[in-house]
């Protein structure tokens, strides 16, 4: 078992995007071999890169509001919203609002073998 308080986890700036930081709460180095749990903060005016990739995401908005851009347009998301982003689905979070926003996000660390 591993327990960590998010306040004690190092804050990393997201290399791409603007005004976004991430704390890697659970990851392979602590024994989480399949799924990472990350805490993102998006400052006012900040945004993540528009991207798509093989791994899916499960996201839970903790505080603040964000615009989530996807293949079907933009959605306003806020506290209590749970979001599933499928494999290869384009997505980007932006914060045009006045308050910082935070969300939890999972990421698969190793892909399951493909079966025919």
43-59 confidence digits (pLDDT tens): 999 999 999 999 999 99
Instruction: Quote the pLDDT of residue 80.
Output: 98
11-108 topology per CATH: Jelly Rolls (2.60.120)
pTM of the model: 0.90
| Phi, psi (rounded to 5 degrees) for 8 | -90, 0
Residue 50 and residue 69 in contact, taking contact as beta carbons nearer than 8 Å:
yes
State the Cα–Cα distance between residues 22 and 52, nearest whole angstrom.
18
**Residue 86 CA to chain centroid, in angstroms?**
13
Residue 74 and residue 22 in contact, taking contact as beta carbons nearer than 8 Å:
no
State the Cα–Cα distance between residues 78 and 75, nearest whole angstrom.
10
Residues of the chain with pLDDT under 70: 110-116
Summarised one tens digit per residue, pLDDT across range 96-108 is: 999 999 999 998 8
Domain ranges of the chain: 11-108
State the Cα–Cα distance between residues 12 and 67, nearest whole angstrom.
22
| SS3 label, residue 29 | helix
| SS3 label, residue 46 | strand
Extract the tokens encoding 79: 């506290």
């Amino acid at each position: 078992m591993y327990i960590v308080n998010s306040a004690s986890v190092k804050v990393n700036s997201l290399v791409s995007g603007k005004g976004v930081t991430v704390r890697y709460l659970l990851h392979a180095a602590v024994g989480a071999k399949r799924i990472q749990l990350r805490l993102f903060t998006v400052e006012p005016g900040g945004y993540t890169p528009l991207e798509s990739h093989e791994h899916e995401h499960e996201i839970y908005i903790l505080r603040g509001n964000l615009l989530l851009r996807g293949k079907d347009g933009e959605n306003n998301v806020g506290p209590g919203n749970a979001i599933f982003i499928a494999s290869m689905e384009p997505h980007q979070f932006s914060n045009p609002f006045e308050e910082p926003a935070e969300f939890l996000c999972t990421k698969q660390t190793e892909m399951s073998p493909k079966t025919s």
